Structure 1
Amino acid sequence: MDIRQVNATFAVADQITEEDLPLLRARGFRTLICNRPDGEVQGQPAAEALAARARELGFEWHWIPISSGNFTPDAIRAFELALAATEQPVLAFCRSGTRSVTLWALAQSSRQTAAELIAAAARAGYDLSPMAPLFDARFRG
């Protein structure tokens, strides 16, 4: 599990497992957002199985599955609402963390400039610079 801190209250990771959940709780995470569709790869844990165990351990859980590159307005809005209505800190995860950090940036792009979003993602090790025009368009409304 590769956890990358994006800001003080939000981090992303690659695929987590049920075995990772106690460690995530011990590290202080309160909310988990799964951005993987079920069945993406063989051996991937089912979202509902992870959700059940996560809830047993006291996590808030959101499942906002994103197929690679398919960032719909509904998914962006769901992510935005999940961030606004949940206990922090939040960990979002997918196969590598890229979809999760991209979805975070899109959800934040009406409040932060492209430069701010790209810098935050870069500090976490993700290059979102190709998306700058999309972020700026949402920031300007």
Structure 2
Amino acid sequence: MIPVAELTDVLSVAGQIQPGDVADLAASGYTAIICNRPDDEESGQPSMDAVAAACEQVGVTFVRYPVTALNFPGDDLTLMDDAMNSGDKTLAYCRSGARSANLWVATQAGDARTAAVERAQQFGIPLSFVMQLGS
């Protein structure tokens, strides 16, 4: 299976996944996958449609929420909060996992944000996107 950073008991982040990874992720208990990577960011990356189709085949919910450095944290952080903190076992992915982790930190506030920053840093994840937002 692809390497993941388990940020919480139910939320993990990873770099780019392939449609062929989805069945293994579902077998590992993931019930939702969030894509935080825009299509065509890099040559040869699978499209969101291809990953979404693989999710549909195995009954995994697929959430599209692509962001870049220019539009971080996107237009609807509440949507990410709901998806990332739903209690369902969820994998969020982007090119490296860093954007997804930054979005998770951005959904937190107060002491929870401090704890989220510490957790992401345990995995060596750079938090440059969320740090630009302030507290």
Common fold by TM > 0.5: yes
* Residue 81 of structure 1, CA deviation: 2.5
Q: TM-score, normalised by structure 2?
A: 0.86
How do residues 64-103 of structure 1 correspond to structure 2 at under 5 angstroms?
Answer: 64-68=65-69, 70-72=71-73, 74-85=75-86, 88-103=88-103
**Distance (whole Å) between structure 2 residues aligned to residue 41 and residue 80 of structure 1:** 27
Residue 36 of structure 1 aligns with an amino acid whose one-letter code is R
C-alpha distance in 2 between matches for 1:119 and 1:35: 21
Number of matched pairs: 134
RMSD: 2.2
Q: 1:60 to 1:131 in 2, by over 3 A?
A: closer
For 2:129 and 2:51, locate their aligned partners in 1 and report how far apart those are by CA, in whole Å: 32
1:71 to 1:21, Cα distance in 2 relative to 1, 3 A = same
- 2:74, 2:42 → 1: CA distance? 25
Instruction: Write the letter of the residue equivalent to 2:10.
Output: T
In the alignment, structure 1 residue 52 sits paired with structure 2 residue 39: no
**Structure 1: any 5+ residue segments left out of the alignment?**
137-141
Alpha-carbon distance in 2 for matches of 1:118, 1:135: 12
Aligned partner of residue 8 in structure 1, secondary structure? coil
CA distance in 1, matches of 2:34, 2:134: 21
Instruction: Determine which structure has the larger helix proportion and give its number.
Output: 1
Aligned to 1:24: 25
- 1:43 partner amino acid: G
Percent identity (aligned): 32
